[in-house]
């Protein structure tokens, strides 16, 4: 886990949303996973404060919530960047050089996979197969899929995002 966790900045509206989710799932058997999915949707990640609310709301212990939240790779305990870069390291992408794409992105942004840039703009993650194997190697930035990439092309793609954010290359 990253050392420098940003202070939790949840709003009242988010809390109300979460409470509504908890209320509607309370009687569902096996509610913890669906609730955590929605909680992450609301807050963008699952800080300990949110886990505590889920635990209290569902009447389970915080350690149980923490255990589940840390077991599944889709749940994140740390905030993600404004632009979430997800590099597919599935087999089809790997044999077509996805590792080189990842290295290129890491070098360019100066952070490693799993980290977020200090300005909070970009975070990098690797994922296992988005299912667009016909386009391998594939990178997802937010909801956009970029396929058939080369290190050179991903550079251009990143430049576009950096320019949009008003930074220089």
Please report, as ranges, the residues that interact with another protein according to CB under 8 A: 29-34, 36-37, 67-68, 71-75, 89-92, 94-96, 100, 103, 107, 127-136, 138, 145, 147, 150-152
Least CB distance from residue 88 to another protein, whole Å?
Answer: 8
Which C-beta is closer to another protein: that of 142 or that of 165?
Answer: 142
First to last CA, the chain: 29
Of the pair 116, 139, the CB lying nearest another protein is at 139
3-class SS at 138?
coil
Nearest distance in Å: CB 17, another protein = 18
Q: Closest approach of Cβ 120 to another protein, in Å?
A: 23
Rounded Cα gap, residues 41 and 147, in angstroms = 26
Of 74, 70, 54, the closest CA to residue 62 belongs to 54
Q: Show the tokens assigned to 153.
A: 């092309």
Closer residue to another protein (CB): 116 or 125: 125
Biggest alpha carbon distance in the chain?
52
Closest distance of CB 123 from another protein, Å: 16
Q: Which is nearer to another protein, 13 or 135 (CB)?
A: 135
Edge-to-edge, what's the strand order for the sheet holding 144-146? 122-127, 83-88, 139-141, 144-146
């Amino acid at each position: 886990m990253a050392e420098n966790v940003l202070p939790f900045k949840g709003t009242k509206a988010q809390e109300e949303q979460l409470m509504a989710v908890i209320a509607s799932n309370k009687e569902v058997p096996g509610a913890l996973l669906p609730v955590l999915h929605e909680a992450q949707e609301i807050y963008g990640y699952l800080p300990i404060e949110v886990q505590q609310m889920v635990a209290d709301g569902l009447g389970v212990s915080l350690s149980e919530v923490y255990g589940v939240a840390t077991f599944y790779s889709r749940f994140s305990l740390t905030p993600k960047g404004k632009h979430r870069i997800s590099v597919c390291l599935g087999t089809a992408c790997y044999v077509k050089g996805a590792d080189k794409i990842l290295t290129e992105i890491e070098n360019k942004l100066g952070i490693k996979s799993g980290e977020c840039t200090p300005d909070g703009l970009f975070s990098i993650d690797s994922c296992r197969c988005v299912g667009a194997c016909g386009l391998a190697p594939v990178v997802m930035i937010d909801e956009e899929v970029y396929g058939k990439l080369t290190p050179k092309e991903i550079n251009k793609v990143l430049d576009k995002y950096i320019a949009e954010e008003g930074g220089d290359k």
